[in-house]
Amino acid sequence: MLTKIYVISGETSGDQHAAKVINELKKANPACQVRGMGGDNSQAAGQELVLHQKEMAIMGIWEVLLNLRKVIKNLSLIKNDIEEWKPDAVLLVDYPGFNFKIAKHAHSLGIPIHYYISPKVWAWKEKRVEFIKKYVTKLYSILPFEINYFHKKQVEVTYVGNPSKEAVDTFLAQNSTTLKTKKIALLPGSRAQEISTSLPIMLDAVNGLDGYDVVIAQAPGFDASFYEEFGNNLQLIQNDMYGLLSQCEAALVTSGTATLETALMSVPQVVCYKTSKLSYEIVKYLIKVKYISLVNLILDKPSITELIQDEFNATTVRIELEKLLAPSKRLDELNADYQKLSEVLGSQKPSQKVAEEILNYSK
């Protein structure tokens, strides 16, 4: 069984996923040593940090160029540390811009490379498939439709289950079902720009909705004062999105993982997305997918309504929301789709599966 694992994650979500795998590695093999780049969660799970991921918290092309010397220095630091520590395997978690460079280097040293949470090559930068085929030993997917895609590309891939499905299953097992009350959930995103764009439109759409309270998922890293500029007496719920959703009859959700979590919590939703006109035109050109929500992508059908760019306005949102608040055949179909979604995702425990695959791997 392997005893030295080098793990690299580069952002908060990746750190959370990596930490769960590290916990499983330690549980399965208490003698296992874990080292590399990560965040507070990974460190708490037992990873020895050579570099904290906050040193790589650089977003945007221009920002990367301004910090290029720092990026190169950190990349060199990790490469040299891998050479000196000589791990049995390297686990890369998402974060392809940095991790692809590490994969190539570790491959040259003859170290097996395990990649958890596949880069979304089916959406854009499809040429990266050839890189994966050449340098990644084992690829672990959290989206079931990726399996057929990668198999057609002759890439070895394993579906390990979905972390959001596991988290929701755990929540539902530990919490009694809450009676749905007359509340609407607003999930405007986790980044300042997303919230500033989406929340005003969402609030306008629900304004005057008789008999309903509106609750807002407060994003990590933002205090209540940030939200005050969008309205007075807003009901904010922090660090309890599942608890929030369990009370609500419907939700307005900015595109992202939250759309999947909302569906798994069986809450009818309208998916919303808006960015600058220039960014939208670039995204349309680069990304080759039919849908923006994970729910529709996994089911391969327009199960939930997606309001994108100009369609994301208060009037249209209100119309679509009211459809979800009235008993209808539409709701019956949506519930059936949500059930299908849950079945397709399965009940696997992804962190445990990835840890097992790594520890039991032999060249």
Domain ranges in the chain are 4-161+348-359, 168-345
Q: Which residues of the chain have pLDDT under 70?
A: 57-67, 177-179, 280, 282-287, 363
Q: What is the pLDDT of residue 324?
A: 94
Task: Answer yes or no: same fold for 4-161+348-359 and 168-345.
Answer: yes
Q: What is the pLDDT of residue 275?
A: 80
CA dihedral 307, 313, 319, 325 (to 10 degrees): 70
Q: What is the pLDDT of residue 84?
A: 97
What CATH superfamily classification does 4-161+348-359 receive? Answer: Glycogen Phosphorylase B; (3.40.50.2000)
- The fold of the 168-345 domain, in CATH, is Rossmann fold (3.40.50)
Q: What is the pLDDT of residue 91?
A: 98
Q: What is the pLDDT of residue 177?
A: 66
Helices (H), 117-248: 128-135, 145-152, 163-174, 192-206, 224-228, 241-247
Q: How many CA atoms, within 13 angstroms, populate the side-chain half-sphere of residue 311?
A: 11
Run of H or E including 65: helix 61-66
